Each structure stands twice: as C-alpha cells, then as structure tokens.
Amino acid sequence: MLLGTLFLGSAQASPVDTYEFRDKVTEKRYQELTKELRCPKCQNQNLIDSNSPIAADLRRQVYNLLHEGKSDMEIMNYMVDRYGEFVLYRPKVNNTTYILWFGPAILLLLGFSVIIYILRRKPQVKEKQALSAEQQDKLKQILKD
C-alpha cells in the first residue's frame, strides 16, 4: 500500500504542450522564456514545470507573442506589465528588489562578523607569574614534607 502510494505520488506528469514552431530557434526561445517566467499561482515553479491552468494560459500567450514576431524583451515586459516583477525568476535590480538581491550576502557578512566578535571577545588566559625567591623556598619546604 505504502509502496503504491509512493509510486503514484512520483508519477506526476508535467504539462505537455503540443505547439508547432516555425524553426528550432523559435522553439528554443519559447523554452528559455517559459523557464525564466514564474507561475503566478504556484509561485515556486516556472511556467514550463507548472500544471496550473494559469501557467498553461501564459505558455499559450508566450507562444502567441513569439508567432507575432515579438522579441524576448518585449515578451518579458508584457508579462511584467501584466503580472508584476514577481513573474520573473530573476527580477531586475531596483529599489524594491535590493533586499532580494543583496539581503543574503548582507546576512552572511553579519553572521561572520558576529562569529569573529565572539571569538575575539573570548577571555584571555593570564600569563603565569614567576614565583619570588621566598615563595620558591616555601614551595620546596612543602614538597619535602
């Protein structure tokens, strides 16, 4: 029963679009564009991997725009105008996306800084002081007894 459930869960099919392209270049552009655009519903899948109806509509829209002769940039701009920057897997660097692009690096540097601060703040071992002559004599007396 468990094995059957695992097998059926992994047998999920990805979408199959049967679009016909004029040439291999247009087909390659279609593949690249649908990999670079995010599904608005699924949020963590690109258009080519998503099974949602909106992703199928967007794939069809990309196909239609390609056949209208639009450039890749025009298609990306169309999608951004319609769905916002979220639809891009790699959004442009601007005021609203600085934290997205530079946040992880800043957190990493902050973490290293905290670790270095903690390690440097570690208490130092005090140097041993030499015994005075009087203390050495007293130690010898104790050890003899």
CATH code (residue 35): 1.10.8.640
Do 108 and 61 share a structural domain? no
Looking at the predicted structure, is the pLDDT value of residue 117 above 60? yes
The answer on 98 and 77 residing in a single domain is: no
Judge if 74 and 116 occupy the same domain.
no
Opening angle at CA 50, ends 49 and 56, nearest 5:
110
Task: Output the pLDDT for position 61.
Answer: 94
Indicate if 102 and 78 belong to the same structural domain.
no
Tokens at 112, concatenated: 């290293």
Strand partners, 37: 88
At residue 132, the pLDDT reads 85
CB atoms within 10 A of CB 34: 21
More confident residue, 13 or 114: 114
At residue 144, φ and ψ (nearest 5 deg) are: -70, -35
Predicted confidence at residue 108, as pLDDT, reads 95
The phi, psi pair for 132, rounded to 5°, reads -70, 170
Predicted confidence at residue 84, as pLDDT, reads 85
Q: Give the range of the structural domain holding residue 102, as residue numbers without chain letter.
A: 94-121
Q: Is residue 134 part of a domain?
A: no
> What confidence score (pLDDT) does residue 11 get?
47
Residue 58 burial (CB count, 10 A): 24
Q: Are residues 34 and 60 in the same domain?
A: yes
- Which of residues 124 and 83 earns the better pLDDT score? 83
Q: What is the pLDDT of residues 29-85, one digit of tens each?
A: 999 999 999 888 887 888 888 888 999 999 999 999 999 999 999 999 999 999 888
